[in-house]
Structure 1
Amino acid sequence: MPHPDPEGSTTVESSPAATARTMWALFEPIHAVTYFAPEALAAYEDAGLRGFWRGYFAGRAAPLGPVGPEPVVAAFFSFAPPMVARALPAIWTLVTPERALELRRAGATASLARLLAGHEREAERAAEALAPRAADLDGAGRVLAAANGSLDFPDAPLERLWHATTVLREHRGDGHVAALVAAGLDGCETLTLRAAVDLPRAELQPKRGWTDEQWQAAEHRLLDRGLLAPDGSATDAGRETLRTVEAATDRAAERPWQTLGPDGAADLVRLLTPLAVACGSALRFPNPIGVPEPTE
């Protein structure tokens, strides 16, 4: 799903919720190499998962086991069900979930090895800092975080760093889904509203599999609720709905950072920023995740 406001800052704020948003903007690019870096795509394709989406669904769904489309539609939230069904469960005839986990780790690690060359010590320190916060998370109500958290934490620094950022981002993502559901938004409505505010429709609709008819129907539902204006722009109520969702997402993501404190948060920002910038070079902006471009 598109995630928090791409205009979000990486300035250290005082509240745990604000710190959670700041940290997301820094650890998400490290995780996201698994979707954008060529080494990650090559790992899946070399194993017979041709095309981007087979690898995407295999790697991200693998912690759930050999599931069909329904749990993935629920957990991933913003994908059109037919798009998910084209990949699942058919991909499990090509690779097992266990093999998919190996492939995603190998691809992510190879990506980080290239992107973070010269930052090895910082990457090791970041892994040491993030792994305990990811390992101690409560998975109640957070399916993807719990599934990824049940996997063994690797010992190798780059693998450990990537796994920690993955657990943390899925933890935040699970909370984001809960906030969207509480706001009465479905997957297509969420994308339609974001497209009316800050993310290009071209980055959202085709990459999540919604047809023009489904997109238009979502627009009509949002118009009826007063969240979109007749010209397709977001109303004040629509923007406030997204602000409410993002605030709830931040609150739901604050637990890993509650004991960090302002000085600890500032230190972690200084440590993660060059890593995020380096990994950001493999991403495109804007992107369907909504992650902001990291800057020094």
Structure 2
Amino acid sequence: MPHAQPVARRMFDLTEPIALVNFFADEPNEAMAELGFDNYWDGYFAGRSAPFGRVPAAVVDAAFYNFGPGEVARHLPKVWGTTTPEAAHAARERGCLEGLRRILGDLAGSGGLPRAAELLAKASTSAPVHGRVMYAGLRALPLPTEPWALLWHAANMLREHRGDGHVVALVSERIGGLEAHVLSALDMGIHPPESFGRIHHLPATLLAEVMGGLRDRGLVDTEGRLTPEGRATKDRIEALTDALAEAPYDGLTPAELDELVTLLEPLARRCQEAWSE
């Protein structure tokens, strides 16, 4: 059921803080360490790519889109000598649930969390999977029944659904994965953009090549800041990402959507506060 006003951006603001438990809480990292991983990135690639099974690094690199040359291949398929995709996904889920319970525990007493999980799951299973590689991988997994697990799994599915659409938007503007990090850094006010945490570790020659390509296209100026065309490009990418993220919420009635927003607001606010500490 299409809604009168676009809702994807509002829902992103409410679901992203919940999904970020994957990356910001200690418990998921600890759960992956229990499998035998001694560094964050082995656990990251094992956990996030687990729904794909044992696919070549090139496949994961294409799906994740925004890693530098060889970064994915340093971890895949090596991680599958330590654990299995099934065990990696289970550990990631377990750690995320422990993190959410720690952060949101007292908010579950009102009984709203099970209903939020139910509605979020309805939305997260309402969109087509065609052209959505990451989303399709998660949709192929059994849907959890326990409310905490369902809340996390649904938020994670919606995050990857949106991410798949974001890749489409980037490709449509001929923006590569590392270039996307530069545009995001500048959009967040980070300058120089090469200092952004997601790319600062890459070779200086590679970053110079990325910046040079953006300058040649008129997207950044000689000082490495967004030009008007760069800003317009970034705005088009975000607008298309939002538009492509609408489909899951078409599966909810207006009343269900309003209820879901109300239920998610305190959960998202609490998570956002935790990640800001």
Q: Would you call these one fold, judging by a TM-score over 0.5?
A: yes
Deviation at 1:203, TM superposition (A): 2.4
Choose from 36, 43, 54 the match for 2:42: 54
What residue identity is the alignment partner of 1:33? V
Hey, what's the Cα distance between the residues in 2 that align with 1:225 and 1:274? 43
Task: Summarize the Cα distance change of 1:213–1:284 in structure 2 as closer, same or farther, 3 Å threshold.
Answer: farther
The question of 1:184 aligning with 2:174 is answered yes
Choose from 204, 210, 214 the match for 2:202: 210
Deviation at 1:257, TM superposition (A): 1.6
- Give the aligned length: 269
SS at 2:74 equivalent: helix
Deviation at 1:204, TM superposition (A): 2.5
Hey, what's the Cα distance between the residues in 2 that align with 1:199 and 1:50? 33
- Within 5 Å, give how 1:194-209 maps onto structure 2: 194-198=184-188, 200=190, 201-206=195-200
Deviation at 1:119, TM superposition (A): 1.7
The question of 1:254 aligning with 2:242 is answered no
- Within 5 Å, give how 1:1-296 maps onto structure 2: 15-16=5-6, 19-120=7-108, 121-198=111-188, 200=190, 201-206=195-200, 210-258=202-250, 260=252, 263-284=255-276
Q: Residues 80-113 of structure 1, C-alpha deviation per residue, up to 9 Å, x if partnerless?
A: 1322111111000001001101101110111111
Q: Residues 200-220 of structure 1, C-alpha deviation per residue, up to 9 Å, x if partnerless?
A: 3332313xx532211111111
Deviation at 1:277, TM superposition (A): 1.7
The alignment's C-alpha RMSD in Å is 1.7
Give the TM-score of the pair, scaled to structure 2.
0.92
Checking the alignment, whether the CA contact within 8 Å between 1:116 and 1:123 is kept in structure 2 is no
Task: Summarize the Cα distance change of 1:78–1:284 in structure 2 as closer, same or farther, 3 Å threshold.
Answer: farther
Deviation at 1:14, TM superposition (A): 5.2
**Which consecutive residues of structure 1, in runs of 5 or more, have no partner in the other structure?**
1-12, 286-296
Checking the alignment, whether the CA contact within 8 Å between 1:39 and 1:107 is kept in structure 2 is yes
Which residue number corresponds to residue 3 of structure 1? none
What residue identity is the alignment partner of 2:227? T
Task: Summarize the Cα distance change of 1:112–1:68 in structure 2 as closer, same or farther, 3 Å threshold.
Answer: same
Checking the alignment, whether the CA contact within 8 Å between 2:134 and 2:164 is kept in structure 1 is yes
Hey, what's the Cα distance between the residues in 2 that align with 1:197 and 1:176? 16
SS at 1:56 equivalent: helix
Deviation at 1:284, TM superposition (A): 4.5
SS at 1:234 equivalent: coil
What residue identity is the alignment partner of 1:37? A
Over the matched positions of the two proteins, sequence identity in percent amounts to 40
Hey, what's the Cα distance between the residues in 2 that align with 1:213 and 1:220? 10
Deviation at 1:135, TM superposition (A): 1.8
**Which consecutive residues of structure 2, in runs of 5 or more, have no partner in the other structure?**
none
Checking the alignment, whether the CA contact within 8 Å between 1:195 and 1:204 is kept in structure 2 is no
Hey, what's the Cα distance between the residues in 1 that align with 2:43 and 2:165? 25
Which residue number corresponds to residue 9 of structure 1? none
